[in-house]
Structure formats: structure tokens, C-alpha cells
Amino acid sequence: MQGVITTKSILQNPLVIIEGFGLRVFINALFADKDATFLDIISQCHELDAHKDMARMNLSEIVNQFIGYELKAQELYTILSKNFSDLSDVSAFFKHIASHEEGHAIVLARVRREIERGHYWKESKQIHISEIERFDRFMKEAEAAVLSGVSLAEALALVDQLEGSEINIVFENLNKSVDMKSRKRFEKFFVMTTEHVGYCEKQTTAFRKKYAALVNP
């Protein structure tokens, strides 16, 4: 059986499929997407078997959490842009990366609608919960600091910490903890995030040199 599978072809060869590939493959093939190939079904079933001892969570709900983080980062960077209005290039930088975060949230929201059958695995739910709790605490502390007012040095350090944490929590989890089919749908997000982090690192380094007197008084 090659190419796109059809219900008719599956029902014509039920015993062959079950005996050759197992009941899971047969059932998944019956309810597969219209554009799925038989190789896709076999790969998906193998992936499910490989993760059978891991905790499985709702991928859409996980993505919702990550969208919230992107929007919160946008909010913090927007505040910093206003707070550093006396330094036009710094203000423009924060405004620019705020728009990046909004773009990330939009892409994730679009993907969320396409991954109803997606899978998200962790060694245990507690590991995921602990990661999220740590990041939540960090975001709350970052928000409190930004609202109370931070120096340029502190603002640049916050960018480093926030982007590093987002890479660990959002990028790495979507890259390593989701099923292969869903991972492909996140490809644009991965590219955008990689470019975003590179841009942030380049700019924060440049600002530390340009405003050395402010960063290291």
C-alpha cells in the first residue's frame, strides 16, 4: 500500500494490515487524515509506542500557555520601550522585539487550530508542571521589576534571561516533546524564534558597548 490511503483500500485488506502491522495501525488508518500515507500511519503508531511510558498532555492547552508567555513578553517589552524613550535606539529595540513576540503568538495561535490530534509528552506531568511553575514565577518577578522601574543594565539582563527562559520552556519543548507531524507545523515558529534570539543577542551586546557608562557606572 503506497501513497494516500483510503477507507476502501483499508477495508479491502483488514487481515493483511492487522497481521502485518498490528491492530493500532489498522484503527489509525481507518481514522487517518485524507492526505495521510500508509507510511505516515506506521510512523505515527511507532512514535506512540515509543512514548507509551511517558506522560501525555493536551498539546493545544500547552500551546495556549506558551501563547500567554509570548503576549506577556510583548507587554513587558512595550513598557520598557516607553520607559527608555530618552534613548531612541533602545526604545526602538524594545518596540521591535515586542512586535516579534506578538508575531510569535499569532503563529502559535494559527498552529493551535491545526493540531487537534497532536501529542505532547514528558517523562512525567510533574516535570512539566515544575517547569511551568518556575517560568511563571520568573515572569511575575520580571513584570514586578519592569513596573517598578529598571536601569538599562537590568533591562538588558532581563532580555537575556527572558529569551533564554523562553528558549528552554517554549522552543525546546515544542521541538522535542511533540509528535513529528505537529512539529512540522511549528517550523515557522522555530525559524522566527531563532532569528529573534540572534537579533536580541546582537543588540544587547551592542547597547552594552555603546552605553557602557550607563550599564557599568
> Model pTM?
0.73
- Regarding whether 97 and 135 lie in a shared domain, the answer is yes
Rounded to whole angstroms, how far apart are CA atoms 87 and 85? 5
Contacts of 143 (CB under 8 A, 6+ apart): 72, 75, 76
Phi, psi of 58 (to 5 degrees): -75, 115
Task: Give φ, ψ of 2 to 5 degrees.
Answer: -125, 165
Residue 19: domain span: 7-50
The confidence score (pLDDT) of residue 65 equals 87
Per-residue pLDDT of the chain (217 residues; tens, 9 = 90+): 444 455 556 556 666 666 656 666 666 665 566 666 666 666 666 666 655 655 666 778 888 888 999 999 999 999 999 999 999 999 999 999 999 999 999 999 988 877 766 766 666 777 778 888 888 999 999 999 999 999 999 999 999 999 998 887 887 878 777 777 777 888 888 899 999 999 999 999 999 999 998 888 6
E-state strands within 111-190: 119-122
CB within 8 A of 34, min separation 6: which ones? 4
- Residue 141's CATH number: 1.20.1260.10
Say what the pLDDT of residue 2 is. 46
Per-residue pLDDT, 45 = 62
Residues 153 and 178 in one domain: yes
Q: What pLDDT shows up at residue 152?
A: 96
Clarify whether residues 42 and 113 are in a common domain: no
What total number of domains does the chain contain? 2
